[in-house]
Amino acid sequence: MKKGEIVLWHQQYLRCCEELSQWEPISDYARQTEHYALLMDCLWRANDWLTLKQEVLPKAQARPRSALPLSCANNTPVRVM
């Protein structure tokens, strides 16, 4: 499979999970890819405040704001708290 096709499959899968409000698979993907903006959004929606505070916010704050990528699910910026 070509890389572009793999990216397309990932985007479609994430979009389906988002539409079905299945935040756990999206947060697993975000953890594996170190996509902290997406992970923050998932944890916020799943009300997992403890994980958000202890594990994600310190890592996300350590990265420059311009380095945070756009959401893979719909190519729009993810809410940043």
Q: pLDDT tens, 18-62?
A: 999 999 999 999 999 989 889 989 999 999 889 888 888 887 777
Read off the pLDDT band of 1 (50, 70, 90).
confident
**Exposure string for 30-49, b = 16+ CB within 10 A, e = fewer:** bbeeebbbbbbbbbbebebe
What's residue 23's pLDDT? 93
What confidence score (pLDDT) does residue 8 get?
A: 94
pLDDT for position 68: 46
- What is the reported pLDDT for 6? 92
Phi, psi for residue 27 in degrees, rounded to 5: -65, -35
CA 15 – CA 67 distance, rounded (Å): 22
